[in-house]
Structure 1
């Protein structure tokens, strides 16, 4: 069996010392040099272990002051289920309402953007076909909760009142409700989650360290004729949100 990398072992050691009460929320950890001597490893191993625990929300770094034990934070519960999709209501708004929080978002839409190869494959269109691209920053009580980049084939909504996801009389209602306005019934969505690390732009938008753990979700909505009508790349920070899938049983 492959040996565990040293920084992961040290991260487990530090986490256990916190669990045992040696350090409590708000306490400043010893210097990296001291921890390196205590653990018998190099400073770089301590640095990587601390960076991992910061990305998980166990520790927090303060510029010029050192590394501290973070106060426990309540994770936002993101429920992925069929019940999220309600007519005339954004799924994110519904998620936040269930938690007693105010769900808002900021967005930017660019019309007639040529589809990159991967997006075209997901939407069943040719590379370079025009799409409507919308980027979102979702907020829970004013604090960053997730980001998303959505793509819709331009030919589906061109010339209609729902061509702009966040504009017009049906703006902000979500994909299901908007498509219904032009006679398209969205029957299901397919989601593919995978772990990742935040890049520089994502870290800035989400208020997390670069390299922090995130869950990336590739979601595609399909009509009742099995045609893809929208696809999105959703980024959820692991230290802020937990993702739960609810599966209906007939």
Structure 2
């Protein structure tokens, strides 16, 4: 079964450089290797290297200093503050989170999910659907989909709330390792069942955050569709300008 989704080369290179900053290989205040050195070290093209460095500069990990080259700034404060729905979905403990597990079962794979898993339209995948409730109000509906090959030998098919996160459960049971997440945000009208669970009035759209969680090779391990009532959401991001 093929269910790969490859992160772009420049993203993977940026992640590698970021990891080296975090583990102390590239300490704050030091220069990162030159573009030529990175091209040779990683076997990637110069445009890929340049794009990775620009991404890290944009997010505050690196900065350019006249006469010094590209300098390591370290972990930016905005990284700690950034609201990432994907991380929340992967880390959620169903047994401890406010809300309830509303559905578990094998369902036809939705088109958006099939495209990232590399599955045919009529294929079936396991879905776990969890409704997040805060102060008695539904605020988030998370439908998580898992390739059939990852379900065997796990408790993901259980109708009981999972103790611990799906990520921790899969890493322990299947000996896989989650490496990176891609989030795709779009807006759409909810299906009737989704609108009922989220208490969304007719005609009010939802924000859909499609969370694709992969291992280091780019193989998708879990895809979650996080639905948020659009009339109750305000998205905010903070980033540095070069």
Match of 2:200 among 200, 205, 208: 208
Judged with a 3 Å threshold, the aligned counterparts in structure 2 of structure 1 residues 183 and 244 are, in CA distance, closer, same or farther, namely farther
How far off is 1:128 after superposition? 3.6
Residue of structure 1 equivalent to 2:141: 147
Partners of 2:237 and 2:177 lie apart in 1 by: 23
Partners of 1:217 and 1:156 lie apart in 2 by: 22
The question of 1:164 aligning with 2:157 is answered yes
How far off is 1:228 after superposition? 0.6
5+ long unaligned stretches in structure 1: 1-77, 95-101
Deviation readout 1:63-120 (Å, 9 max, x if unpaired): xxxxxxxxxxxxxxx921686478xx417999xxxxxxx7323331003x34355432
Aligned length: 159
Residue of structure 1 equivalent to 2:100: 105
The question of 1:173 aligning with 2:168 is answered no
Judged with a 3 Å threshold, the aligned counterparts in structure 2 of structure 1 residues 238 and 126 are, in CA distance, closer, same or farther, namely closer
Partners of 1:199 and 1:84 lie apart in 2 by: 23
How far off is 1:236 after superposition? 0.3
Judged with a 3 Å threshold, the aligned counterparts in structure 2 of structure 1 residues 92 and 157 are, in CA distance, closer, same or farther, namely closer
Partners of 2:192 and 2:102 lie apart in 1 by: 19
Partners of 1:165 and 1:225 lie apart in 2 by: 29
Q: Secondary structure at the match of 2:181?
A: strand
Q: Which TM-score applies when normalising by structure 2?
A: 0.54
Q: Runs of 4+ in structure 1 displaced over 6 angstroms?
A: 91-94
Conserved 8 A contact 1:189-1:221: yes
The question of 1:186 aligning with 2:181 is answered no
CA RMSD after TM alignment: 3.5
Q: Which TM-score applies when normalising by structure 1?
A: 0.52
Q: Secondary structure at the match of 2:113?
A: helix
How far off is 1:183 after superposition? 0.8
Conserved 8 A contact 1:109-1:135: yes
Residue of structure 2 equivalent to 1:229: 221
Partners of 2:178 and 2:83 lie apart in 1 by: 19
Match of 1:135 among 123, 129, 136: 129
Conserved 8 A contact 2:139-2:229: yes
The question of 1:80 aligning with 2:84 is answered yes
How far off is 1:201 after superposition? 3.1
Residue of structure 1 equivalent to 2:109: 115
Conserved 8 A contact 1:203-1:209: yes
Conserved 8 A contact 1:145-1:241: no
Deviation readout 1:109-151 (Å, 9 max, x if unpaired): 003x343554322112344444111222211133100112221
